[in-house]
Structure 1
Amino acid sequence: MKTCLRDAAVAVAAVSAAVALAACGDADGGSGGGADGLKIGLLLPSSQTSRYEEWDRPLIERRIKELCGACTVLYANAQLDVDRQLQQMNSVISRGADVLILDPVNATSLRSLVNMADQAGVPVVAYDRLAEGRISGYVSFDNEQVGRLQGQDLLKAMGKKADGGQIVMLNGAPTDPNAADFKRGALSVLKGKVKIGKSYDAPGWRPAEAHRSMSDAIAALGADNIDGVYAAGDNLATGAISALKAAKIKPLPPVTGQNADLAAVQRIVVGDQYMSVYKPFRPETDAAAAMAVALGRGEEGMLADIATTTVGNDTTKDVPAVLLTPISLTVDNIEETVVKDGLYTIDQICTPEFRSACDRAGLTG
């Protein structure tokens, strides 16, 4: 124990001290849970996007309990605050986490702590976003395919204007590695087809940022010169559509999205938003839970049965990975996707405000 304390004392930051002490505690028979009582840290980035609290967290916790009845989940949500997530990661490690499931607010800022956790024997499963550092597993969707679906549907919705028309791009947070993948996928479809009049990043994926950027684009390009809007996520579509409506633009140009938020599905029904990208959460959450339990139990060989491919990040090659297939969601396939999968019921979508639009879409009757 003295050696461990000395290692912690000379660590370069308080977070590394917590990691070192956590490792020492496990070595001395401390708070580490062992195969039948693992502590699994679950660190999610935001509650502004509804999926994390409504779907990711409960589904991951449920699957962990199914795989390991005595396991404990140490949960924290960073609310898009990088410093808060650093503190939360530090906290769950110091509380004896055996393994982490991490969806990073900022992959670069967390790299050193990911590496320290790995050195201390606390493996990290990167969830939904590819964390930097020595991760042990990764679960997400094919993010470039997400962007390609958005680009393809935007061109389809633009019709004749898809050949030479002008669009505005509202990309995700520059600190989010997924946002770069979405943009890359979208541009692989859009470049050479349309003119990109304005392109903006949205720090924190905040709707207010998208509203400001869309308002700026309308002022710069003119209300009649925007033929489509690439919004990387449904929360950005929220801001874009509010700005378009504030400028009294009718009809609205087609707007894309992602995550199949309930409000976005309702906007699709009424025609304010053309599409979203539906990413079935259960396969993603199940894979992350299975990876975490296997790693916590020291069963790294089991990852080969879970992973479908490998990926690499800034420091690690051949990371076992599960990359799932996203689905384009439009008014034409709401019933066979989000309703069939139990994400929402018809009653949840078709509230009185949206009843007539649901009737026109064939969702009620």
Structure 2
Amino acid sequence: MKKNKTILIAFSILMSLLLAACGSGGETSGDGNGESTGDSGQKVIGVSISNLDEFLTYMQDAMKEEAANYPDFEFIFSDAQNDSTQQMAQVENFISRNVDAIIVNPVDTTSAVDIVNMVNDAGIPIIIANRTFDGVDQATAFVGSESIQSGLLQMEEVAKLLNNEGNIAIMDGELGHEAQIMRTEGNKQIIEEHDGLEVVLQGTAKFDRSEGMRLMENWLNSGTEIDAVVANNDEMALGAILALEAVGKLDDVIVAGIDATPAALEAMKEGKLDVTVFQDAKGQGATSVKVAVQAANGEDVEDAMIPYELVTPENVEEYEAKY
């Protein structure tokens, strides 16, 4: 009986440990390598990323690389998996741990306001990374890029390639996201400057490649003449390329994206993607960590704006070397 009881207790302990691991929400803790140091004298910075798509994965990798430069700090990384409720819970967890600073890449603009207010009420510095929103000025600092600039650069180049005449299809990202709103606004500002350019189709593909492919297929089936597809990000542009290739129409349509991810740069080298705009994932990630460390140390910090840069087949190799 004693032997059976001992086995039962050991099994219960094992199950408790497994359940605790499953409920961690993708959280890693430590010096940026997922290894906890266990040094209670360290300052702690919590990081919540909205979701680990290609661009944000590069941004988080840059954060971890920069975090390794601060051995006196422990960094806790969490993936919200595009769930605002989960992100709120992660930030609440950081607050309960009494961390010294928090970096948040927001899932959406509504919950972001509540998160900033909650962290401010706790007296903890909060750095917003990559995605801005109305009310971001209440955060300790914002690190990112001016979204409208990318839309302007992107559409200016498309207009040039079309000789200022043609039918434009705009692929929106997740509706309501600041990047979707402002990138499209930049596109339309340029379009309105040219009488020969017209938006004939517009729809959301949610920043997703498969959604971009599906939307492009629907547009092709509609029979509407399209001279250029202008997408809010590279993933959707790559999806549009897949659909156009499948029906042999890629050579007839200009395709433009934003972010200049490695996959997009490869597509450009292959002659499939005509335009993209470099958003510096590494610069945003590393700078977010630097600013958070300064804030955690009680230093005054300011917003850090990192400019977008136009990428074309002529300079694509320069940007490929950045990865």
Same fold (TM over 0.5): yes
Question: How many angstroms apart in 1 are the aligned matches of 2:214 and 2:318?
Answer: 35
Question: How many angstroms apart in 2 are the aligned matches of 1:267 and 1:238?
Answer: 8
Give SS of 1:126's match: strand
Deviation string, structure 1 residues 122-152 (Cα, Å, up to 9, x no partner): 2211101115463110011122111111101
Equivalences for residues 138-287 of structure 1 within 5 A: 138-159=142-163, 162-163=164-165, 165-193=166-194, 194-203=197-206, 205-222=207-224, 225-287=225-287
Give SS of 1:219's match: helix
RMSD across aligned positions (CA): 2.1
Give structure 1 stretches of 5+ with no counterpart.
1-32, 304-319, 344-365
* Gap change, CA 1:175 and 1:84, over 3 Å in 2: farther
Question: How many angstroms apart in 1 are the aligned matches of 2:317 and 2:270?
Answer: 15
Deviation string, structure 1 residues 38-87 (Cα, Å, up to 9, x no partner): 21111112222x1322x212222232332x32101110112222222222
Equivalences for residues 58-97 of structure 1 within 5 A: 58-66=61-69, 68-97=70-99
Q: CA deviation at 1:166?
A: 0.5
Question: How many angstroms apart in 1 are the aligned matches of 2:82 and 2:49?
Answer: 9
Contact 2:65 2:286 in 1 (8 A): no
- TM value normalised by structure 2: 0.80
Question: How many angstroms apart in 2 are the aligned matches of 1:78 and 1:252?
Answer: 40
Question: How many angstroms apart in 1 are the aligned matches of 2:232 and 2:193?
Answer: 19
Aligned length: 281
Query: Letter of the aligned partner of 1:260 in structure 2?
Result: A
Aligned to 2:318, which of 336, 344, 350?
336
- TM value normalised by structure 1: 0.72
Q: CA deviation at 1:245?
A: 2.4
Give SS of 2:142's match: strand
2:59 counterpart of 1:56: yes
Q: CA deviation at 1:192?
A: 4.4
Question: How many angstroms apart in 2 are the aligned matches of 1:167 and 1:282?
Answer: 31
Question: How many angstroms apart in 1 are the aligned matches of 2:233 and 2:177?
Answer: 12
Who is 2:13 aligned against?
Answer: none
Give SS of 1:264's match: helix
Query: Letter of the aligned partner of 1:51 in structure 2?
Result: F
Q: CA deviation at 1:250?
A: 4.6
Question: How many angstroms apart in 1 are the aligned matches of 2:152 and 2:94?
Answer: 37
Give structure 2 stretches of 5+ with no counterpart.
1-38
Who is 1:350 aligned against?
Answer: none
Query: Letter of the aligned partner of 1:336 in structure 2?
Result: E
Equivalences for residues 294-313 of structure 1 within 5 A: 294-300=294-300, 303=301
Query: Letter of the aligned partner of 2:50 in structure 1?
Result: P
Contact 2:241 2:250 in 1 (8 A): no
Query: Letter of the aligned partner of 1:332 in structure 2?
Result: E
Who is 1:109 aligned against?
Answer: 111
Deviation string, structure 1 residues 254-287 (Cα, Å, up to 9, x no partner): 1111222222111111111102111233432332
Give SS of 2:298's match: coil
2:22 counterpart of 1:37: no
Contact 1:278 1:338 in 2 (8 A): no
